[in-house]
Amino acid sequence: MGIFPVWMLFIMCFICSSFQFNPVDNYLIDCGSSKNTSVGTRVFMADNSSPITLMSPQTIFVNTTSKPNTATTDSAVYPSAVVFGGTSNYTFPIKKQGGHWIRLYFYPLNHESRNLSTARFSVSAQSFTLLKDFRPPSVPVVKEYVLNITSNSLVLNFIPYKDSFAFVNALEVISIPDELIPNSAKTFSPSGEQDNLWKHALEKVARVNMGNRVVNPENDSLWRHWDSDFSFLKHGNLVKFVENVRAVNYTGFSTNDIAPPSVYGTATQLDTESDPNTRTNMTWLFEVDPGFNYFVRFHFCDIVSPQPNQMFFNVYINSLSVVRDFDLSKQTSNILRSPCYIDFIARSSNSRNLNITIGPSEAYNAYPNGILNGLEIMKISDSKGSLDFGDTIVQSSTSKLKSWTIIGSIVVVIFVALVLALVLFIIWRRRKLAHANHAVQDQFGNKGRKSTDGIATISSSKIGYSFPLAVIKEATKNFNDGLIIGVGGFGKVYMGVLRDETKVAVKRGVPHSQQGFSEFETEIEMLSQFRHRHLVSLIGYCDEQNEMIIVYEYMDNGTLKNHLYGSDLPKLNWRQRLEICIGSAKGLHYLHTGSTKAIIHRDVKSANILLDENLMAKVADFGLSKNGPEIDHTHVSTAVKGSFGYLDPEYLIRQQLTEKSDVYSFGVVMLEILSGRPVIDPSQPRETVNLVEWAIKGLSPGELEKLVDPFLAQEIKPESLKTFGEIAEKCLAERGVDRPTMGEILWKLECALQLEGICVRPRLNTQPSNSHFEDSVLSTQYSVGSDIDGVSMSKVFSNMVRTDMR
Ligand SMILES: *[C@@H]1O[C@H](CO)[C@@H](O)[C@H](O)[C@H]1NC(C)=O
Ligand SMILES: *[C@@H]1O[C@H](CO)[C@@H](O)[C@H](O)[C@H]1NC(C)=O
Ligand SMILES: *[C@@H]1O[C@H](CO)[C@@H](O)[C@H](O)[C@H]1NC(C)=O
Ligand SMILES: *[C@@H]1O[C@H](CO)[C@@H](O)[C@H](O)[C@H]1NC(C)=O
Ligand SMILES: *[C@@H]1O[C@H](CO)[C@@H](O)[C@H](O)[C@H]1NC(C)=O
Ligand SMILES: *[C@@H]1O[C@H](CO)[C@@H](O)[C@H](O)[C@H]1NC(C)=O
Ligand SMILES: *[C@@H]1O[C@H](CO)[C@@H](O)[C@H](O)[C@H]1NC(C)=O
Ligand SMILES: *[C@@H]1O[C@H](CO)[C@@H](O)[C@H](O)[C@H]1NC(C)=O
Ligand SMILES: *[C@@H]1O[C@H](CO)[C@@H](O)[C@H](O)[C@H]1NC(C)=O
């Protein structure tokens, strides 16, 4: 009999020590509940079953049966709460002094006797103000703090605002490993160190896992929730998300407790593959309260380089360089895939933004690259021990007040009141958003390609961010008709502005149409799998309340169609048109070849090619896209779909769908670009109503000029026109097999751009023949990467240079 418990104990100790940090103090309270509640592997105790004492002049326990929808597993603690009518406190006995998490869970659950949304209160612990004049947002929120507890007990005070009350749904007080937070960290401007971090309270502002993956508390040894970085990224299109969790090899520069493998094993990387000459930064924007210092921790792990000493980059906080030419290998003694981290203190500023930037290094002739795996930002309590923004403002204003005249001070008081009101409003709004963010569900999370071991596989597939409907409504002023920028079969498209001032295009599907829903799903799926500078980027989606909303990057210059005809926009010149043509061809080429299975767009037309502020073309609208034929080229699709005038006749007749159907439609777009008129124009004389029919006759030499947009007449060089005409003609070939591939078209278009028709391609040693599309050398070159700018060659080249230098 005696052996059994010992054996059990052994197993339990083994589990504790090998998998999870074992905190000395570990209080988990499901406030207001009469029973213990499991959250993942942890149990939150009923309020009355613990050594914790609650002292309060007036409490009520409330509970409901409905759980809020949260992405994390913590939803079980929200249906109950304890409500405090007066100043109240929880006292926790502390066995081990030192750093502790304090996590406070708030959710104004729906209760008939009391509307918890009207609560207003402050929370303090030791000498620190954790929350001041807090009004809970309508979504679940977890506030998280780190406190160095320096006595044998922790008293957590809840102080209701007068005439109001306080509440809390759940509490955690947990010891953390001593090494988690250092006592000092490097600062910049003024440079030096900030000491005595332990004397401050820290509040989590952001904890982000790069690589667009959420990490739930169950996958973190200290039960931290890591948000996905996607929604913080300033530009989503020049980065790629990579994943290789199994490769992570802790060798002492970081530990599993500092951050788990699921954080180090995913990363966001600069995407220089499509164009190694682009020198671009990746930046994440975080909203912070001005006037505080922030503790910033960067987590790195090189899960992408095949060997050490290949990853150099610069790290910036608020555009200030904090590490130049950072060599990840040096940081980890040349051990690849070894996690490490670096800490900084960002000094207080007046900005409401904290910007984190990773940019390519110019040193060592490095291939432009950069990576970030995780990021934590914590607010450091001010000299008064407060973490509340309102406090700082009031203090600084009132100290000035004294020396001012009475009239002046009245003005100041009014001003302060206004500022305060604004600040509270901002805080309230920000929290609301932050919590909405928290509640994100990534239902498309499993569509990503799984990484295998060995070299990191690039997961080109990523999840769009699920927006709360409230955020969309705010961005579009509640779907204001004045913001409509387009109307299509699917529904209306609005211009919207997110809180960080990003402009977005919001496509709102007509609800309740089954057809629409499958297209909605297809589009999100396609856009989340494919990212390319010439494909319009997905920012997120919203499917709350039967809505079908897709949020895209905003394209300042609208559709190509509008620039060609039927609007007052200035006409595009020939060079611009060619570049747009090349851009959209790159986008389509990527769709056709970027993954193992070709994707057929199925609705290529000038209205689906969008132009950004620099008139760069991006292909849009993937609602009809389909995976192409896999092995045989005889895929028979069930229903013919597409746009009239652009439809491949072969597809129409034989219902055979291949990439070449897109090529046909692209040929039609080329004709539109050349002629500046619609495909079907009833106002034209009978024989020229249908642009394609007319063009096929007109494409013979000598006739071509008749097609050209009169606006361009003087501009086009005959050679360029000839090449362009040849490509269009090939694209419009009756049989798909006779049409060129997008890669071939791209090549020829770039030739046309060189005006003389001479292709200057120094990196390739093949001299392509000008008259033939059937050039096998070219097609193999094209099929390797996501873009065709000789990427692989230049990469090899830069690697060679680097090897030579060593
Ligand atoms: C909910 O509250 C009622 C009384 O108000 C109590 O009897 C019941 O046990 C509570 N349920 C839970 C799950 O705490
Ligand atoms: C909750 O769990 C604790 C420890 O496991 C136990 O002592 C207590 O009786 C439980 N309370 C209830 C209501 O089940
Ligand atoms: C805790 O609250 C009770 C009742 O509100 C009060 O009497 C007591 O002084 C408080 N204790 C501390 C340490 O603040
Ligand atoms: C907590 O604070 C005390 C007193 O300032 C200090 O001695 C101790 O090292 C600190 N510990 C941690 C883990 O912060
Ligand atoms: C609760 O209060 C909030 C804020 O005052 C209000 O918006 C909401 O409608 C109220 N809910 C109920 C059920 O009364
Ligand atoms: C981790 O790195 C160490 C040090 O280079 C190496 O000896 C070990 O084999 C690595 N472990 C794995 C699993 O790759
Ligand atoms: C996260 O935890 C779940 C369940 O514990 C596990 O199945 C999954 O593999 C973990 N994910 C990662 C990335 O470690
Ligand atoms: C952060 O980026 C935003 C948006 O680009 C910019 O407005 C702001 O000035 C930047 N803040 C700092 C401190 O660099
Ligand atoms: C990256 O950002 C830093 C800081 O804002 C700036 O100095 C640098 O020029 C940027 N680099 C590129 C390539 O945009």
Calculate mean pLDDT across residues 306-331: 88
- Cα(263) to centroid of ligand 7, in Å? 11
Calculate mean pLDDT across residues 692-721: 78
Identify the weakest region by mean pLDDT among 118-127, 450-459, 666-675: 450-459
Q: Which residues contact 712 (CB under 8 A, 6 or more apart)?
A: 573, 574, 577, 674, 676
Q: Which residues contact 67 (CB under 8 A, 6 or more apart)?
A: 75, 76, 78, 79
124 with 194, same domain: the answer is no
Q: In whole angstroms, what separates CA 619 from the centre of its chain?
A: 20
Q: Look at residue 781 and tell me if it is in a domain.
A: no
Q: Look at residue 377 and tell me if it is in a domain.
A: yes
270 with 355, same domain: the answer is yes
- Among 148, 175, 202, identify where a domain stops: 175
603 catalytic residue (yes or no): yes
Element (H, E) at 497: strand 491-497
- Return the pLDDT at 425: 59
- Return the pLDDT at 622: 75
- Cα(735) to centroid of ligand 9, in Å? 49
Enter the tokens of residue 659: 């990439």
Q: Which ligand is nearest to the CA of 157?
A: 3
Enter the tokens of residue 18: 């090998």
507 with 595, same domain: the answer is no
- Return the pLDDT at 797: 28
Q: Taking 80 as the threshold, does the pLDDT of residue 592 lie above it?
A: yes
Going through 4-87 in order, the beta strands assigned E by DSSP cover 26-30, 37-39, 42-46, 53-55, 59-63, 80-84
Amino acid at site 145: Y
Of the spans 16-30, 325-339, 359-373, which averages the highest pLDDT?
325-339
Chain segment 383-396, per-residue pLDDT in tens: 888 888 765 443 33
> ∠ at Cα 311 (307, 312), nearest 5°?
150
Q: What is the distance between the alpha carbons of residues 55 and 598, in angstroms, rounded to a whole number?
A: 66
């278009």: which residue's tokens?
Answer: 749
Closest CA to 351 of 422, 288, 434: 288
- Return the pLDDT at 75: 85
Chain segment 593-651, per-residue pLDDT in tens: 877 677 888 889 998 999 998 899 999 887 777 765 533 344 444 456 667 788 888 87
Q: Look at residue 5 and tell me if it is in a domain.
A: no
Nearest residue by C-alpha to atom 1 in ligand 8: 355
- Return the pLDDT at 157: 96
610 with 655, same domain: the answer is yes
Cβ count within 10 A of residue 588: 29
Q: What's the farthest any 2 CA atoms get from each other in the chain?
A: 102
Task: Name the DSSP letter for residue 439.
Answer: T
| Between 537 and 483, residue with greater pLDDT | 483
| Between 667 and 194, residue with greater pLDDT | 667
132 with 151, same domain: the answer is yes
Question: Residue 231 sits in which domain range?
Answer: 185-393
For residue 718, count CB atoms less than 10 angstroms from its CB and return exposed for 0-12, middle for 13-18, buried for 19 or more: exposed
Q: Which ligand is nearest to the CA of 111?
A: 5
Chain segment 553-584, per-residue pLDDT in tens: 899 898 999 999 888 888 888 888 999 999 99
- Return the pLDDT at 446: 29
Q: What is the distance between the alpha carbons of residues 592 and 597, in angstroms, rounded to a whole number?
A: 8
State the chain's mean pLDDT as an integer: 77
CATH classification at residue 211: 2.60.120.430
235 with 138, same domain: the answer is no
- Cα(152) to centroid of ligand 4, in Å? 13
189 with 162, same domain: the answer is no
- Return the pLDDT at 394: 38
Q: Taking 80 as the threshold, does the pLDDT of residue 762 lie above it?
A: no
- Return the pLDDT at 14: 39
- Return the pLDDT at 255: 92
- Return the pLDDT at 261: 95
Ligand 4 pocket residue status of 645, Cβ below 6 Å: no
pTM over 0.75, yes/no: no
Ligand 4 pocket residue status of 178, Cβ below 6 Å: yes
- Among 554, 577, 611, identify where a domain stops: 554
Q: What is the best residue among 285, 320, 498 to mutate for testing ligand 8's pocket, by most ligand atoms within 8 Å of CB?
A: 285
597 with 721, same domain: the answer is yes
217 with 300, same domain: the answer is yes
The number of the ligand 6 atom at minimal distance from the alpha carbon of 247 is: 14
In 3-state terms, what secondary structure has residue 233? strand
Q: What is the distance between the alpha carbons of residues 782 and 741, in angstroms, rounded to a whole number?
A: 10
Amino acid at site 484: I
Cβ count within 10 A of residue 87: 15
pLDDT range class, residue 777, cuts 50, 70, 90: very low
Nearest residue by C-alpha to atom 14 in ligand 6: 249
CATH classification at residue 539: 3.30.200.20
480 with 518, same domain: the answer is yes
The ligand 9 site (C-beta within 6 Å) comprises: 279-281, 316, 319, 357, 359
The ligand 3 site (C-beta within 6 Å) comprises: 55-57, 87-89, 155, 157
- Cα(219) to centroid of ligand 7, in Å? 6
Q: Taking 50 as the threshold, does the pLDDT of residue 209 lie above it?
A: yes
Ligand 4 pocket residue status of 509, Cβ below 6 Å: no
pLDDT range class, residue 419, cuts 50, 70, 90: low
Calculate mean pLDDT across residues 14-28: 68
Q: Look at residue 280 and tell me if it is in a domain.
A: yes
Task: Name the DSSP letter for residue 318.
Answer: T
Q: Which residues contact 437 (CB under 8 A, 6 or more apart)?
A: 227, 231
- Cα(318) to centroid of ligand 8, in Å? 7
Q: What are phi and psi of 169, to 5 degrees?
A: -95, -35
Identify the weakest region by mean pLDDT among 4-18, 185-199, 496-510, 623-637: 4-18
Q: Which ligand is nearest to the CA of 120?
A: 5
Calculate mean pLDDT across residues 221-225: 91
Query: What is the pairing mode between strands 153-160 and 59-63?
Result: unpaired
Domain count, the chain: 4
- Return the pLDDT at 308: 84
Ligand 4 pocket residue status of 150, Cβ below 6 Å: yes
On whether the CB atoms of residues 250 and 260 are closer than 8 A, the answer is no
- Cα(188) to centroid of ligand 8, in Å? 17
- Return the pLDDT at 20: 60
Annotated binding site: 507
Identify the weakest region by mean pLDDT among 83-87, 233-237, 266-270: 233-237
Nearest residue by C-alpha to atom 3 in ligand 8: 353
Calculate mean pLDDT across residues 431-443: 37
Calculate mean pLDDT across residues 361-368: 77
- Return the pLDDT at 426: 58
């290789």: which residue's tokens?
Answer: 244
Q: Taking 70 as the threshold, does the pLDDT of residue 732 lie above it?
A: yes
153 with 291, same domain: the answer is no
Q: Look at residue 383 and tell me if it is in a domain.
A: yes
Q: Look at residue 130 and tell me if it is in a domain.
A: yes
Q: Look at residue 538 and tell me if it is in a domain.
A: yes
Chain segment 644-689, per-residue pLDDT in tens: 788 888 877 777 778 898 999 999 999 999 989 888 888 888 778 8
Nearest residue by C-alpha to atom 6 in ligand 7: 219
Task: Name the DSSP letter for residue 297.
Answer: E
3-class secondary structure for 366-430? CCCCCEECEEEEEEECCCCCECCHHHHHHHHHHHHHCCCCHHHHHHHHHHHHHHHHHHHHHHHHH
- Cα(374) to centroid of ligand 4, in Å? 26
Contacts 24+ apart (CB under 8 A), 492-499: 495/554, 496/472, 496/551, 496/554, 498/471, 499/287, 499/429, 499/430, 499/433, 499/471, 499/474, 499/475
Q: What is the distance between the alpha carbons of residues 267 and 375, in angstroms, rounded to a whole number?
A: 11
Annotated binding site for ATP: 507
The number of the ligand 4 atom at minimal distance from the alpha carbon of 198 is: 14
Catalytic residue among 220, 382, 603, 709, which? 603
Of the spans 420-434, 584-598, 777-791, which averages the highest pLDDT?
584-598
CATH classification at residue 596: 1.10.510.10
380 with 438, same domain: the answer is no
Q: Taking 50 as the threshold, does the pLDDT of residue 784 lie above it?
A: no
| Between 491 and 792, residue with greater pLDDT | 491
Closest CA to 111 of 79, 133, 140: 79
For residue 341, count CB atoms less than 10 angstroms from its CB and return exposed for 0-12, middle for 13-18, buried for 19 or more: buried
Q: Which ligand is nearest to the CA of 281?
A: 9
Q: What is the distance between the alpha carbons of residues 679 and 565, in angstroms, rounded to a whole number?
A: 11
Q: Which residues contact 330 (CB under 8 A, 6 or more apart)?
A: none
Q: Look at residue 804 and tell me if it is in a domain.
A: no
Nearest residue by C-alpha to atom 9 in ligand 1: 34
- Among 175, 193, 220, identify where a domain stops: 175
Q: Taking 80 as the threshold, does the pLDDT of residue 728 lie above it?
A: yes
